[in-house]
Amino acid sequence: MNLRDVAAHWVALHEAMGLARPIASEVEYSEAQADVEELVAAAEGDDASPLWGLIGVAGDRIRAYEARAHPWPDTATPADVLALLMQEHGLRQCDLPEVGSQGVVSEVLAGKRVLNARQVMALTRRFRVPADVLLGAHAEPDAQDRGGR
């Protein structure tokens, strides 16, 4: 395959997914999310699939749009974010096996326990949110130091 062939494929990708420009609207945002879901389904089970590179590029566009159009409040703690996600998805504490038992979820929401790396990664995959909002990158420093470690 020569450069001309690669360029033709890039043009086709851009026309299909808009990869060469930022997402500009909620409609494009929804379409980009659907594209990524379709690509993930196509690559599922093959960790070496070259589709993961394309998923990464498309995901970067989605994250850039979210940062512009739907930024997380700078004062939100991981517990605040989790509570908001639960509310948006109509979930109860018992609906979060990624975190643990209902008691563990309650402790996280009360700020008595922090999420560990496994929990953060599982929630990131489930809700498609940046890990830093669940790690407390936007929270005040002492919010992460509450007990429960």
The tens digit of pLDDT for each residue in 104-142 reads 999 999 999 999 989 999 999 899 888 888 887 544 444
Residues 114 and 141 reside in one and the same domain: yes
* Confidence band, pLDDT 50/70/90 cuts, at residue 149: very low
**Which tokens belong to 24?**
């500009």
Query: Which of 23, 44, 69 finishes a domain?
Result: 69
Question: SS3 of 92, please?
Answer: coil
pTM reported for the whole predicted model:
0.54
Contact 131, 123 (CB under 8 A): no
Contact 119, 100 (CB under 8 A): yes
pLDDT of residue 113: 93
The tens digit of pLDDT for each residue in 31-88 reads 999 999 899 889 887 889 999 999 889 989 998 998 888 876 777 889 999 999 999 8
CATH number at residue 106: 1.10.260.40
Query: Which of 69, 90, 107 finishes a domain?
Result: 69
DSSP code of residue 145: G
Query: Which of 69, 95, 116 finishes a domain?
Result: 69
pLDDT of residue 143: 39
Residues 42 and 87 reside in one and the same domain: no
DSSP code of residue 71: P
Contact 62, 29 (CB under 8 A): yes
Residues 63 and 118 reside in one and the same domain: no
Residues 65 and 82 reside in one and the same domain: no
Residues 102 and 121 reside in one and the same domain: yes
Q: Which domain holds residue 36?
A: 3-69
pLDDT value at 13 more than 90: no
